[in-house]
């Protein structure tokens, strides 16, 4: 399995601000002049407190929302162009599996949405990849929370997306399950090398999984800054040195 055709260029969020209009003409500024770039094949984690604008940024990269000012592009295109071509894989915390469908049918769903023939081989590969062999015919209600999360990640990978966008995908899990899933998925990502943005509120998870961690800090009036923390994924177990933390 490969992670889609090469993008050539990266995800670029340039000077993006986003305000939401509220009732009676009031508005709330969710993010202010955020710059963020994700290189092809890079795994970036976006962390920050609740309300700091993480989901807002992810939704704009997914083409689900528009910046008020600034621009978001993927390989030089508007994200909607990639979304239309089914080249973005997205998974959210509430994993949104269809309860009446089996694991296999849930993972096949993107093929049906895209009007493509189901690639059985690809679906089998994904079921293996996320460690769910033997559960292909189970329904979501028969699975643990961690297993459901793996199904939703497999589903996001179904069409070999160029970019994977994950919004707090492990948020609903207990700490032990979450850690176990992190370890398993790190192996998956090492294999796929897919361009990934992971939104999380867990610093530990971000540092463990990502090549680079971007921190959104809440300021008054929900204005946020991006601080790059310059972590590099340790290539060997004990390489996490203090001098990685430089600003």
Least gap, CB of 235 to Mg ion (angstroms): 31
Residues 6+ apart with CB under 8 A from 239: none
Following DSSP, what letter does each residue of 185-207 receive, concatenated?
A: HHHHHHHH--EEEEEES-HHHHH
Among 10, 52, 55, 162, binds Mg ion (CB under 5 A): 55
How many CB atoms lie under 10 A from the CB of residue 93?
18
Contact footprint for ligand ADP (CB under 6 A)? 20, 28, 30, 48, 50-56, 222
**Taking Cα atoms as reference points, which of 128, 72, 54, 64 lies closest to residue 90?**
64
Least gap, CB of 52 to ligand ADP (angstroms): 4
Q: Which of 68/222 has CB closer to ligand ADP?
A: 222
Which of the residues 91 through 120 are near Mg ion (CB under 5 A)?
none
Least gap, CB of 239 to Mg ion (angstroms): 31
222 contact, one of ligand ADP, Mg ion, none, CB 5-8 Å limit per kind: ligand ADP
Specify the residue for token string 């030089």: 76
Contact between 202 and Mg ion (CB under 5 A)?
Answer: no
Here the tokens at position 201 are 């509120």
Question: In this structure, what is the dihedral angle of CA atoms 202, 205, 209, 210, given to the nearest 10 degrees?
Answer: 30
Question: In this structure, what is the dihedral angle of CA atoms 179, 180, 183, 186, given to the nearest 10 degrees?
Answer: -90
Least gap, CB of 110 to ligand ADP (angstroms): 24
Q: Which of 53/140 has CB closer to Mg ion?
A: 53
Q: Which of 54/178 has CB closer to Mg ion?
A: 54
Q: Which of 29/182 has CB closer to ligand ADP?
A: 29
């Amino acid at each position: 399995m490969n992670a889609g055709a090469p993008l050539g260029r990266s995800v670029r969020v340039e000077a993006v601000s986003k305000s939401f209009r509220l009732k009676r003409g009031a508005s709330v500024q969710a993010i202010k002049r955020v710059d963020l770039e994700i290189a092809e094949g890079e795994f970036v984690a976006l962390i920050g407190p609740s309300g700091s604008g993480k989901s807002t940024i992810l939704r704009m990269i997914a083409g689900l929302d528009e910046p008020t000012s600034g621009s978001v592009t993927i390989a030089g295109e508007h994200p909607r162009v990639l979304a239309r071509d089914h080249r973005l894989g997205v998974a959210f915390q509430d994993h949104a599996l269809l309860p009446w469908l089996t694991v296999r049918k849930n993972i096949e769903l993107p093929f049906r949405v895209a009007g493509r023939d189901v690639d059985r081989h690809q679906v089998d590969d994904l079921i293996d990849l996320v460690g769910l062999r033997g559960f292909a015919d189970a329904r979501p209600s028969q699975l643990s929370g961690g297993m459901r999360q793996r199904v939703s990640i497999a589903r996001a990978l179904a069409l070999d997306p160029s970019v994977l966008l994950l919004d707090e995908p492990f948020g609903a899990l207990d700490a032990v399950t979450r850690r176990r899933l992190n370890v398993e998925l790190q192996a998956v990502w090492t294999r796929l090398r897919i361009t990934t943005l992971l939104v999380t509120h867990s610093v530990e998870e971000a540092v463990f999984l990502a090549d680079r961690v971007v921190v959104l800090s809440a300021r008054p009036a929900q204005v946020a800054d991006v601080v790059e923390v310059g972590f590099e994924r340790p290539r060997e177990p004990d390489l996490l040195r203090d001098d990685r933390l430089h600003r």
